[in-house]
Chains A and B, each alone.
Chain A
Amino acid sequence: MSRTVLIGLLLLGLLAPALSDYQIYLLTLTLLWSILALSMGLLLGYAGEINFGQAAFVGIAAYVSTLLRLKLGWSFWAAAPVALAVVVLCAAAVGSITMRLRGPFFVLVMLAFGEIVRLILANWQEVTGGPVGLRQITPPEPVLGLAFDTKLSFFYLVLVVLALSTLALIALVRSRTGRMFVAMREDETLAEFVGVGLSRHKLIALCISAFIAGLGGLLMGPFLTVLAPNQFSIFASVDMVVMVIVGGIGTLAGPLLGAIFLIYVPELLSFAREMRPIMMGVLLIVVTLFLPGGLIGGLLPLLRRLGGRGAARKEAQHD
């Protein structure tokens, strides 16, 4: 399945020059959200923790990198590592408090963390520009002979970031640490009993997830050219959760599929845009109750029937 995703991204990259500006915009938006959904997919699907404060990580990266560029005149490429470091530090700090907590406390405290960040962004007028936010954010400066000032070139940048993130996460979930995550998700008590350090591994998962979310955040400013605090509310985090659940929890292809389903499809069918919130709610309930594997879970048996049993089993193993 993961391999299918990478092939899909490659095909998309080859097709892109033939597409209209609107399609490129829409696909960039979808891929950007795929990165965010992927970050949530790691936490939700592999570490078994839901984070309604995830948008705060995106916001921190977006604001820190953009502020460094706008106020101090740094280049995008110099600001990016600093912003990512800040995000991971924030995740480590808040994580070291919350990871000691069990059950619903984690969810509620991360939600509160998300609100704190949003409130600071909205109220620290002198620095963040308050509710109006930051404007006139320019594309990343050219680097290594590559320019990013056209819609298509920026699309490729987002595509590459998504592909690299996916590759990194594939390696991660197959590693020892990744197996620890899965053990934790399946049965916390048992995992702890066989020697998985729960708090430590959850903290690692949170930091990696925040890093990926931060990557998405870096690209947000240049893509939208404006940043405002309400882009990073709880609702953005819930959007990511819905993408993971609808696409298929516990897979890396699921979040991507979910992002396509929740960003690309509704934008394409413009009449569906107003129906999006209610559709999200209904989807969350219906998928949780009746299709716990999400779209991937629904599709896999179909693939299995089409591709013959052996091929499908191989696919399943690769996930």
Chain B
Amino acid sequence: MLAQQLINGLVLGSIYALSALGFTLIFGVARVVNFAYGEFLMLGAFLTLTTMTVTGVDFFIALPLAMGMTALLSVAAYLLAIRPVMRGTDLQALLVTTGMLYVLREVAILIWGTAPRQMETGLDGALEFGDILITHQRLLAVAFLLIMVTGLYALLYKARIGRALRAVAQNRFGAETIGLNVDRVISFAFAVSGAMACVAGSLIGALYATEPSMGGSPLLKAFVIVIFGGLGSVPGAIVGGLVIGLTETLVGAYISNAFKDVFTFLIMLAVLLWRPTGLLGVRST
């Protein structure tokens, strides 16, 4: 029973960590708290689903296509609405992305309606170890997390653009001074974040349901995770996601299902009291 709960927690934690990765990346590079991030998860899920229904391809072919489209939308959102306030106050960026949250959700309702939809990954069956059961679908969450984290690390630490991303994250003005095109680097970060949102959203859409309101809950979880793990920290998002997923599952199973979310919020507050920048957070400038 405990082993099964741990596996469930790990799967949930992987979903949470995936949802938080793109959000924390944007904050790390651009110092923008993107309140519309959950809506990009939702758009990603719908784009995957629509690609599947329109062209008839299966989930694993539709997903990369949708990732590309979500990345473009994310860059467009940056260029049209977020970039104009980048030199303004933090408050303005918050207001603009909050406005985007409403606009994107309402546009999704206009296009796809409010009814939840099913998305088939084509994966059936399950792994069994003794009395522990894990469906292939849910295993996908762990696999996706591993792939995305490996990909992100390769991008950040092996690719040339990764060095630019880290430079901008460390010191935007310094990066500008040494001749980096900061605007282009941030656009690239928004593209990567959009693609990651699409993966997380499609996964949530396949495991639960695809609907216009699906972005709210992952966004809240992403907030908790990044506060817990450290805002802007990639390892913080992974550790935070897994810890929150495990805590929630165990509290839900053994203490109180109704109050598991309250419990995770309280853990987050406790971490903040102890370490105001989160577990793995760096002091912000």
Contacts and interface: CB of A to CB of B under 8 A. Distances in A.
Interface of A: 44, 48, 50, 97, 100-105, 107-109, 111-113, 115-116, 119-120, 123, 238, 241, 245, 277-278, 280-285, 288-289, 292
Secondary structure call for the B interface: helix
Interface in B264-280: 265-266, 268-269, 272-273, 276-277
Q: What are the 6 A-B residue pairs with the smallest beta carbon separation, nearest first?
A: A281-B102, A284-B99, A281-B103, A278-B106, A285-B99, A123-B258
B258 A103 contact: no
Given A105-B227, A284-B96, A285-B100, 4 more contacts: A50-B94, A102-B284, A241-B98, A278-B103
A285 B269 contact: no
A41 B262 CA distance: 28
Q: How large is the interface on B (under 10, 10 to 19, 20 to 34, 35 or more residues)?
A: 35 or more
Contacts of A109: 227, 268-269, 272
A282 B103 contact: yes
Nearest to B36: A281
- Select the residue from A97, A104, A284 with max chain B CB neighbours within 10 A: A104
A132 to B, nearest CB: 15
Contact of A289 (B84, B105, B227): B84
Interface of B: 27, 33, 81, 84-85, 90-92, 94-96, 98-107, 220, 223-224, 226-227, 231, 258-259, 261-262, 265-266, 268-269, 272-273, 276-277, 284
Contact of B33 (A104, A120, A280, A284): A104
B251 to A, nearest CB: 13
B265 A115 contact: yes
Contacts of B81: 285, 289
A284 B102 CA distance: 9
Given A281-B100, A284-B99, A284-B102, A107 B259 contact: no
Contacts of A50: 91, 94-95
A105 B223 contact: no
- Select the residue from A123, A280, A284 with max chain B CB neighbours within 10 A: A284
Nearest to A122: B258
Given A97-B272, A108-B223, A123 B259 contact: yes
A278 B107 contact: yes
B284 A103 contact: yes
B26 to A, nearest CB: 12
A100 B269 CA distance: 12
A101 B224 contact: no
Given A280-B102, A288-B85, A101 B220 contact: no
Contacts of A277: 102, 105-106
B11 to A, nearest CB: 23
A111 B92 contact: no
B284 A288 contact: no
Given A50-B91, A116-B266, A289 B223 contact: no
B23 to A, nearest CB: 11
A119 B98 contact: no
18 contacts: A97-B272, A104-B90, A105-B231, A108-B226, A111-B223, A112-B223, A112-B269, A113-B265, A115-B261, A119-B261, A119-B265, A120-B262, A241-B95, A241-B98, A278-B102, A278-B106, A281-B104, A288-B96
Contacts of B107: 278
